[in-house]
Amino acid sequence: MSSVPKRILPTIVFSQFAGTSLWFAGNAILPTIQKSWGLATNAVANITTAVMLGFILGTFLFALFSIADRFKPSRVFLMCAILGAMSNIAILVLPQSFLLLLVCRFFTGFFLAGIYPVGMKIASDWYDGKLGKALGYLVGALVLGTAFPHLLNYLGTGLSWTSVLIGTSTLAITGGLLMVLLVGEGPNRKIGGKFEPRKIIDVFKVQKFKYSAFGYFGHMWELYAFWAFLPFILNYYNEQTGSNLNVSLWSFVVIAIGAVGCIGGGFSSIKIGSGKVAYRFLLISGILCGLSPILIHLPPFVFITILIVWGIAVIGDSAQFSTLNAQNAPAEFKGTALTIVVSIGFLLTIPSIQLLGYLSTMIDPSLIFTVLLIGPIFGLIFTRKLLQTNN
């Protein structure tokens, strides 16, 4: 990375963090909006789902039309940051309506499709041999953003939800401008050809890309369901053991500590390769999925320690799978390949989370995380195939 200007990586990381603040900071204030508007108890879940569905549809369409390959990625990033910010702040000027709130959050998620995966594309255009390290920092910053709402819930905040919306929208646009002015297009960028919808299928015909993508899919089956039900399992542990663990605080710690896994995994990838790093992290989190029923019987210190290890492992492989996907994708359709993989990956989080929600009312709650083992097993099979192919 010595030939790359020093400003590039910090700017990409900040811009990604700024752009995705539309997602995680928005989620942080949803309970406040719910109370302020007098919304139903299930409103927060529906609003969160609207963002997710918008993101999934957005990534699919961006991949279908090869947006990040046919146009300058930094310009795509800026336009989506502006449009996402406008969608985020629109609820301040539109009539107070739950339906309009859902629409605004849906479009916020839609335009995030031009921020998160496109930011990875920009990073891959700048960094080649050490992409795993670069994406380790990038995903690490996003992990901290994901944990941010739990920290706000723990600390409380004197900021009004309107101030948060204005602040995040301003931050997102700032990130978009910096991406254009200070980063631009990397030296490894290949301009894509004409509009070819079949490319979203054809990219999976590249064997190495298919193996790394399927490994990523297994990882995604586990990741967001683990994060989503972390407060649930902490609450259940308190109820069963009579402990008094602060759910918001420890949810923040366990999720945020994943940044250590991302950055540490990035450095390790330089020495042993992204494939081995991803495989080892996925193996650790898979083992913990299988052992999860015993967690509820452990002392608080041991319980929290294992959750922290799990928090490191469950996300530590994410940047490395993204690196493998970028390295194994066809150069001229790298943006399309990365975007469709992200789209499918996030789509898989919906049945995973819904399944855990259903099972949490049907079986002993201590058993629900065992269902997540499906993901690591699937991912390990294909990651191993990729490693064998590389040997």
Report the alpha-carbon angle 298-304-306, nearest 5: 80
Tokens representing 166? 């204005």
Q: For 102, left (φ over 0), alpha (ψ -120 to 50), or beta?
A: alpha
In angstroms, rounded to a whole number, what is the distance separating the alpha carbons of residues 126 and 128?
Answer: 7
Instruction: Supply the Cα-derived Rg of the chain in whole angstroms.
Output: 20
Quote the DSSP letter at residue 98.
H
- For residue 6, give Cα distances in angstroms to 3, 68, 74, 139, 269: 9, 24, 18, 18, 20
Burial 175-184 (b: 16+ CB within 10 A, else e): bbbbbbebbb
In angstroms, rounded to a whole number, what is the distance separating the alpha carbons of residues 370 and 359?
Answer: 11
49: CB partners within 8 A, 6+ apart: 350
Helix (H) or strand (E) holding 286: helix 274-291
In angstroms, rounded to a whole number, what is the distance separating the alpha carbons of residues 183 and 294?
Answer: 48
Per-residue confidence (pLDDT) for residue 1, from 0 to 100: 45
Q: Are 222 and 289 in contact (CB under 8 A)?
A: yes
Per-residue confidence (pLDDT) for residue 109, from 0 to 100: 92
CATH of the domain spanning 8-184, picked from 3.40.35.10, 1.10.3210.50, 2.130.10.30, 1.20.1250.20: 1.20.1250.20
CA-based torsion, 99, 30, 21, 262: positive or negative? negative
- For residue 17, give Cα distances in angstroms to 11, 121, 242: 10, 15, 38
Domain with CATH 1.20.1250.20 in the chain: 8-184, 203-390
88: CB partners within 8 A, 6+ apart: 22, 26, 104, 108, 165, 168, 169, 172
Quote the DSSP letter at residue 179.
I
> Per CATH, the architecture of 203-390 is what?
Up-down Bundle (1.20)
Low-confidence ranges of the chain (pLDDT < 70): 1-2, 129, 156-159, 192-197, 391
